[in-house]
Amino acid sequence: MSESIALIIGGSGAAGQSAIEGLREHSKKSGVKWNIISTTSGDSQVTGADKTIPHIQLEEPEAAVQKVLKEINHLKVDIFIYTPARGNLGYPVSETPDVDIINTAKFCLDPMIELERKLNPRLTVGYSAFYYLPHLLTSYGALAFIKKKMEEWAIEKPDSRKMIRAGSFISTSARGIGVLLQKIGRSSPFPELQNLMKEHKESGKKFSEFFWDYVRGSEKRIFEKQFPNIPYRATEQNDLKIGLLKILDGEKAPIVSLIGDWIWTDDKLPEMPEYLKKR
């Protein structure tokens, strides 16, 4: 069995764990033995990884990149998977200040670009979202611009760069976003969030239940006509693994989009508001 090296930045989260599961499953059917190296911001071993690089703090991106390169020590990385996503949230994408885009890129985008440049892997995989749809335009802030930039970057070199654009799913970070949104929304000056909080109040539901119903209702309404014979199902962590397996099996398109059992590919950016296109 041949051996290849996979480097995962952020292997402990939902996307990272799904990637490790996908690589292991790919091994069983392809004959490729994946030696998985994963980073973590803490000091615990990453579940499923062959080697863990601890204490990678992307808040200091240059130091983090140098530490990863030192640990890799000139090994040839075949596939590079970058999962981190963090930035200012809780305000409409249309209201995003330039400084938030710059600061979010330092964590979510710049290290990926720099590591790809230094490592020159056969394939780089990142993770995106449906940042251009109404339910995220309301509160996704700077992350919408970063996800768009990541997809543009992948489209530039589709043979070696791929993005998994996944529907919203319940995870530790997603729950945190819901809590933050509820807190900020109570005093938000933005009409979009004021209207969302008004709908929440009228629903009589707990905010977490209301918010996920809102997200899933939006996904279903927008995409169900494309899949008339497949019922809507909310996205789960395992679906990210399926998206990665599609890429590992040789998918040519730069973007694999998925919402539950709905999966399709894109080779160009979707329609989006002008303010999102221009920055």
Enumerate residues 6+ apart whose C-beta is below 8 A from 8.
16, 19, 20, 36, 37, 38, 39, 46, 49, 81, 83
pLDDT of residue 256: 98
Confidence of residue 195 (pLDDT cuts 50, 70, 90): confident
Share of the chain above pLDDT 70, in %: 97
Q: How many Cβ atoms sit within 10 Å of the Cβ of residue 249?
A: 10
Residue 258 pLDDT exceeds 70: yes
pLDDT score of 192: 85
The pLDDT tens digits for 77-120 are 999 999 999 887 788 999 999 999 999 999 999 999 999 999 99
Over 80: is that where the pLDDT of 175 sits? Answer: no
User: What pLDDT is stored for residue 173 in this prediction?
Assistant: 64
Q: How does DSSP assign 26-75, residue by residue? A: HHHHH-EEEEEEEE-SSSSPPTT-SEEE----TTSHHHHHHHHHHHHTT-
Asked whether residue 177 carries a pLDDT value surpassing 80, the answer given is: no
| Average pLDDT of every residue of the chain | 93
Does position 179 have pLDDT exceeding 90, yes or no?
no
Q: What's the pLDDT score for residue 170? A: 75
pLDDT at residue 135 greater than cutoff 90: no
Global pTM value: 0.94
Per the structure block, which two tokens stand in for 96? 């995003």
Please, which residues have CB within 8 angstroms of residue 62's CB and are 6 or more apart in sequence? none
